[in-house]
């Protein structure tokens, strides 16, 4: 039997309604939307424009021309950062961000740093929430962009988008948010939240993989990453992934309409899981904020146990220790490190990403499984034994070893 899927931050299954609407565009409606001389192109173009409108609705954007389709959110993030720098006339331009961003932001910035761009990391608290005063203090004449995610993929922490957007607006600095994990779970409104650029990924909201979008507020410009056929108003050349875009549009429509009911249902499951673990298993801690977190995220540390060992022991569940891209190495999570979680607890953490398929029964089974296996592993754990003898395991040397 397949394990129960609880890794919805890594990716989500395709909603059957999304698949259904995509299929004809993988078959008979194969036209290129840029072909304006015949019906094949027209059909594809009409469907792409309908999908654009669905994304507009989800974000409360004002104009379909503000939506640029891309191949993924990694591309959207790269486009904004590199595209803003390329057009900037400022010497050593500065970009304000936080240390818990996704690697698609942090590694892009690292590359830009080699070209003289300066990354300014605003302070975050122990939950990962940005300090607004720290942002204000960092703003200066060379600040060209503020990029702060809507929600964190490991610890689920939600950022105060509206306040950040307000600060950016007051200082006339464009504000980008990576909203990949937030869309479909919490309301993100580019108008009310004063967002100028926003990154989207379809596969995190029950859409297909390999398609994303960038919201680009009217009046703002970025240099394109790709030169070519000039599609997407010249900002993103390349023949459009029509079935993917149509899937993204439908996923956006469903994400918007499911928002309150499904988010409330999953929030209850999340709280059942968090409270169940904290009450039933001693020496466990919640990483991230108790309430200002994604309704589907629980990140818990089980002291004296390696997260990887606990995951192996709980085979009936598909969960992970952190972000999909970094969980192949046994390095402790940079996100947990950034919020000050000690190495020992970071190594003992598991991320639970709940989703539409999960039920109350799943959580009941998960709690029983965790309780049983934590006890079993602790009974075998040298760390637990050391701790029982009064040895401070936080001083224990943790290696950065690979599998």
Active site (catalytic) residues:
325
Q: Does 12 bind ligand PLP (CB under 6 A)?
A: no
Q: Does 147 bind ligand PLP (CB under 6 A)?
A: no
Nearest-CA neighbor of 206 among 296, 322, 333, 78?
296
The least CB distance from residue 82 to ligand PLP, in Å, is 15
> CA–CA separation, 166 vs 195, rounded Å?
9
Stretch that binds ligand PLP, among 69-77, 92-100, 123-131, 295-303 (CB under 6 A): 69-77
For ligand PLP, give the closer residue by CB, 106 or 118: 106
The least CB distance from residue 74 to ligand PLP, in Å, is 3
Q: Does 181 bind ligand PLP (CB under 6 A)?
A: yes
Q: Considering only residues 15, 178, 193, 232, which one is a binding residue for ligand PLP as defined by CB under 6 A?
A: 178
Determine how many CB atoms are found less than 10 A away from the CB of residue 399: 7
> CA–CA separation, 235 vs 200, rounded Å?
16
Q: Does 201 bind ligand PLP (CB under 6 A)?
A: yes
> CA–CA separation, 194 vs 199, rounded Å?
14
The least CB distance from residue 35 to ligand PLP, in Å, is 27
Query: Binding-site residue total for ligand PLP (CB under 6 A)?
Result: 14
The token pair at 93 is: 């331009």
Nearest-CA neighbor of 247 among 5, 25, 29?
25
Nearest-CA neighbor of 41 among 50, 29, 57?
29
For ligand PLP, give the closer residue by CB, 102 or 185: 102
Q: Considering only residues 68, 72, 254, 281, which one is a binding residue for ligand PLP as defined by CB under 6 A?
A: 72
For ligand PLP, give the closer residue by CB, 297 or 323: 323
For ligand PLP, give the closer residue by CB, 45 or 204: 204
Q: Does 355 bind ligand PLP (CB under 6 A)?
A: no
Q: Does 213 bind ligand PLP (CB under 6 A)?
A: no
Nearest-CA neighbor of 153 among 317, 251, 336, 10?
10
Helices (H) and strands (E) in the chain, counts: 13, 12
Q: Does 70 bind ligand PLP (CB under 6 A)?
A: no
Q: Does 367 bind ligand PLP (CB under 6 A)?
A: no
Q: Does 321 bind ligand PLP (CB under 6 A)?
A: no
Stretch that binds ligand PLP, among 60-68, 109-117, 177-185, 297-305 (CB under 6 A): 177-185
For ligand PLP, give the closer residue by CB, 272 or 324: 324
The least CB distance from residue 220 to ligand PLP, in Å, is 20
For ligand PLP, give the closer residue by CB, 45 or 102: 102
Stretch that binds ligand PLP, among 43-51, 67-75, 290-298, 306-314 (CB under 6 A): 67-75
Stretch that binds ligand PLP, among 35-43, 84-92, 117-125, 178-186 (CB under 6 A): 178-186
What's the sign of the alpha-carbon dihedral 45, 47, 49, 51? negative
Measured between its terminal Cα atoms, the distance across the chain in Å is 26
Q: Does 241 bind ligand PLP (CB under 6 A)?
A: no
Q: Does 143 bind ligand PLP (CB under 6 A)?
A: no
Using CA atoms, how far residue 99 sits from 122, 173, 245, 338, in Å, is 8, 20, 31, 6
Q: Considering only residues 54, 108, 143, 149, which one is a binding residue for ligand PLP as defined by CB under 6 A?
A: 149
Q: Considering only residues 31, 212, 288, 353, which one is a binding residue for ligand PLP as defined by CB under 6 A?
A: 212
For residue 82, give every residue at least 6 positions away whose Cβ sits within 8 Å of its Cβ, in sequence order, or none.
108, 112, 223, 225
Q: Does 82 bind ligand PLP (CB under 6 A)?
A: no
For residue 263, give every residue at least 6 positions away whose Cβ sits within 8 Å of its Cβ, in sequence order, or none.
185, 186, 295
In terms of Cβ atoms closer than 10 Å to its own Cβ (0-12, 13-18, 19+), residue 184 is: buried
Q: Does 180 bind ligand PLP (CB under 6 A)?
A: yes
The least CB distance from residue 262 to ligand PLP, in Å, is 19
Nearest-CA neighbor of 67 among 255, 195, 228, 210?
195
Using CA atoms, how far residue 256 sits from 60, 250, 252, 285, in Å, is 10, 10, 6, 32
The least CB distance from residue 170 to ligand PLP, in Å, is 26
> CA–CA separation, 45 vs 31, rounded Å?
8
Per-residue DSSP letter, 240: -
Interface with ligand PLP by CB under 6 A: which residues? 72-74, 102, 104, 149, 153, 178, 180-181, 201, 212, 323-324
């Amino acid at each position: 039997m397949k394990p129960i899927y609880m890794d919805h931050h890594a990716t989500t299954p395709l909603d059957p309604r999304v698949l259904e609407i995509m299929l004809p565009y993988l078959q008979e409606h194969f036209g290129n939307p840029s072909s304006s001389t015949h019906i094949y192109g027209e059909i594809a173009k009409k469907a792409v424009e309908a999908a654009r409108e669905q994304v507009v609705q989800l974000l409360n954007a004002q104009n379909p021309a503000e939506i640029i389709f891309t191949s993924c959110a990694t591309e959207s993030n790269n486009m904004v950062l590199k595209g803003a720098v390329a057009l900037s006339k400022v010497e050593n331009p500065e970009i304000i961000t936080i240390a818990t961003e996704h690697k698609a932001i942090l590694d892009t910035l690292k590359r830009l740093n080699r070209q003289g761009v300066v990354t300014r990391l605003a302070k975050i608290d122990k939950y990962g929430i940005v300090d607004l005063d720290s942002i204000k203090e960092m703003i200066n004449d060379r600040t060209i962009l503020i990029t702060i995610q809507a929600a964190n993929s490991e610890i689920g922490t939600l950022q105060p988008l509206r306040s950040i957007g307000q600060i950016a607006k007051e200082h006339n600095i464009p504000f980008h948010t990576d909203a990949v994990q937030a869309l479909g779970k919490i309301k993100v409104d580019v108008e009310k939240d004063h967002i100028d650029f926003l990154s989207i990924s379809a596969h995190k909201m029950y859409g297909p993989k390999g398609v994303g979008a960038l919201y680009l507020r009217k009046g703002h410009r970025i240099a394109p990453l790709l030169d070519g056929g000039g599609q997407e108003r010249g900002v993103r050349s390349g023949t459009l992934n029509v079935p993917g875009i149509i899937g993204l549009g439908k996923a956006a429509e469903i994400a918007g309409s499911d928002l309150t009911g499904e988010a409330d249902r999953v929030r209850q499951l999340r709280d059942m899981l968090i409270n169940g673990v904290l009450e039933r298993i001693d020496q466990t801690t919640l990483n991230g904020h108790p309430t200002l977190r994604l309704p589907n995220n629980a990140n818990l540390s089980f002291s004296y146990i390696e997260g990887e060992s606990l995951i192996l022991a709980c085979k009936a569940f598909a969960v992970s220790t952190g972000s999909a891209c970094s969980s192949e190495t046994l390095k402790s999570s940079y996100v947990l490190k950034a919020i000050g979680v000690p190495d020992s607890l970071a190594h003992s953490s598991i991320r639970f990403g709940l989703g539409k398929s999960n039920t109350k029964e799943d959580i009941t089974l998960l709690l029983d499984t965790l309780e049983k296996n934590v006890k079993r592993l602790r009974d075998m754990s040298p760390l637990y034994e050391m701790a029982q003898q009064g040895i401070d395991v936080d001083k224990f040397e943790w290696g950065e070893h690979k599998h």
